[in-house]
Structure 1
Amino acid sequence: MAAQLRAYRARIRSAQTTKKITRAMELISASRIMKAQARVNEAGPYTTELSRAVGLVAARSNVQHILTTEPASITRAAVVLMTSDRGLAGAFNSQVIRQALELEQLLKSQGKEVVFYLVGRKSVGYFAFRRREYAKSWVGATDQPEFELAKEISDELIDVFTREEADGGVNEIHLVFNRFVSMMTQTPVVRRLLPLELTEDFSADELPEGDGGVLPLYEFEPDAATVLDRLLPAYIESRVFYALLQSAAAKHAATQKAMKSASDNADKLITNYTRLANNARQAEITQQISEIVGGADALAS
């Protein structure tokens, strides 16, 4: 009985220590999610208006730009997979990796070769463990992504998109990331980044709504090709940066939810083991009393 009681008490102490850690991580994530959500809200209007402007300029000009022209045949596609650098976030990383693998199967069924670009240590670790190849990776800056990271990724994507296929170029680029819906819901989404879809209607659940009404008229100075050359890189950078911000906000929300669940489970373990320890202690006391009574009866007889 004494050994069993010591084991229960050791498990209670272990659960209490775990609860302190998970509770602290829950509070840290709760503080970070507000900042991450504010950054998403700040970047949203700029991304919306820039996306509308690029789409309208491209649709109302006769310029055949390489970033807006649909290729005759798409044989090689790039997939940018965005995960986190750290774990302890429930199904955050597994669900977006699963979404990317489903996209890979879809593209391969269409006869396209798929090349992966990875953001976050979890995706790099997943590919390294399974000895799968990828073109390039970026790690260490997913918790609080900066615009420099988005620009670096965008420059690489534009370079590989404008490169000849014989030199390793691609005809199509997709983004796969987790979108922040609410504190309880983070949804993996797939967005085609290039070529630009001129008919794309950005949904209200992804970006804030733009102003409705009459579409603006544009005068190109000096010409439409120069305007598109300036606008399209900025558009790609803003889209990549917005996806990074969405992924960071979703990760903090997933971590808070996972740590809240872990703290609740620790509370249940503490309650259960405390009940078992009390039962074991009561049984030990009862046994000791029975031994004392039995010894006293034996001496009296």
Structure 2
Amino acid sequence: MGAQLRVYKQKISSAQTTKKITKAMELIAASRIQKAMARVRASSPFARAVTRAVSAVATYSNVDHPLTREPETVHRSAVVIFSSDRGLAGAFNSQIMREALELAELIRSEGSEPVFYLIGRKAVGYFQFRGIAAAAEWTGDTDTPHFSTAEEISAALLEAFNRGGANGGVDEIHLVYNRFVSMMTQSPETVRLLPLEITESDETDAAGAVYPLYEFEPDAETVLDAILPVYIQSRVFNALLQSSAAKQAATQKAMKSASDNADKLITDYTRLRNNARQAEITQQIAEIVGGADALSSSK
């Protein structure tokens, strides 16, 4: 009985230690998520302005640009996967892997070959464990992404896109990342980045405004050459920021659940320990009473 009590005390101590760790990680994630959300909000005006500029040029220029031209045959499609460098985030990484592999299967069913570009150690480890080759990898900058990382990713993607699928590059580029919806919801999202799909409607157009007539100097194609890389960089950087905010929210939710489970374990083990101790006391009392009866009957 004494050994059983020691076991329950050890389990309670272990659960309490675990709770301290998960509670601290929950508070750290809660503080980081506010900064991540602020960065997402700060990047939105620039991203909207660049999107409006690209839409205006593409809508009113009628230029046949490589970044807006639909390929006749899609040989290879890039799948850019945004994961995290750290775990303990619930289903954050598993759901993005599932989304990316489903997209890869869809690409194969359409007669194209998926080419994977991996961001985050979790995606790299997942693909290495399964022996799946990747064209490029970026790790170590998913918690607080820097714009220089987005520039590197964009440059690699644009270089592969400009080469074309027939020459070892890619004909399409898809981004797969977790979008921050709320503190409780992080939604995996797939966006086709290139060839660029321009829509003429946005928030301003919905309010009744229209684009003004533009004159391009030196010409519309040169303007697109200058704006589209900036547009790609802003989209990639926004995906990095969205993924970072979603990861912190997923970590906070996972650590909150772990802390609650630790509380439940502590309560259960405390009840079991009390029951064992009560049983031990009852047994000791019974032994004392039995011994006293034996002594009195022998006289």
Q: Which category describes the TM-score, using the shorter chain as reference length?
A: over 0.9
Runs of 4+ in 1 over 6 A off after TM superposition: none
Provide Cα deviations, 1:49-107, integer angstroms capped at 9, x if missing partner: 21121022112113211111111121210000000000000000000110000101111
Query: Which range is displaced more, 69-78 or 82-91?
Result: 69-78
SS of residue paired to 1:27: helix
SS of residue paired to 1:117: strand
1:85 aligns with 2:85: yes
Q: Take 1:154 and 1:276, find their aligned partners in 2: how far apart are those partners?
A: 58
Q: Which consecutive unaligned segments of at least 5 residues does structure 2 have?
A: none
Q: How does 1:63-212 map to 2 (within 5 A)?
A: 63-199=63-199, 209-210=203-204, 212=207
Q: Take 2:89 and 2:200, find their aligned partners in 1: how far apart are those partners?
A: 32
1:282 aligns with 2:278: yes
Backbone CA RMSD of aligned residues: 1.2
Is the CA contact 1:78–1:116 (under 8 Å) kept in the aligned structure 2?
yes
1:225 aligned to 212, 221, 235, which one?
221
Q: Take 2:238 and 2:160, find their aligned partners in 1: how far apart are those partners?
A: 21
- TM-score when normalising by structure 2: 0.96
Letter in 2 for 1:76: R
Provide Cα deviations, 1:20-64, integer angstroms capped at 9, x if missing partner: 000000000000000000000111121112112102211211321
- TM-score when normalising by structure 1: 0.95
Letter in 1 for 2:288: I
How far apart are residue 13 of structure 1 and its match?
A: 0.2
| Paired position in structure 2 for 1:37 | 37
Query: Which range is displaced more, 63-72 or 276-285?
Result: 63-72
Tell me the matched-pair count. Answer: 295
Q: Take 2:77 and 2:26, find their aligned partners in 1: how far apart are those partners?
A: 38
Structure 1 residues 128 and 173, CA gap change in structure 2 (3 angstroms): same
Q: Take 1:120 and 1:292, find their aligned partners in 2: how far apart are those partners?
A: 66
Q: How does 1:195-274 map to 2 (within 5 A)?
A: 195-199=195-199, 209-210=203-204, 212=207, 213-274=209-270
Provide Cα deviations, 1:245-275, integer angstroms capped at 9, x if missing partner: 0000000000000000000000000000000
How far apart are residue 152 of structure 1 and its match?
A: 0.3
Q: Percent identity?
A: 68
Is the CA contact 1:117–1:134 (under 8 Å) kept in the aligned structure 2?
yes
Is the CA contact 2:59–2:200 (under 8 Å) kept in the aligned structure 1?
no
| Paired position in structure 2 for 1:206 | none
SS of residue paired to 1:60: helix
Q: Take 1:144 and 1:76, find their aligned partners in 2: how far apart are those partners?
A: 31
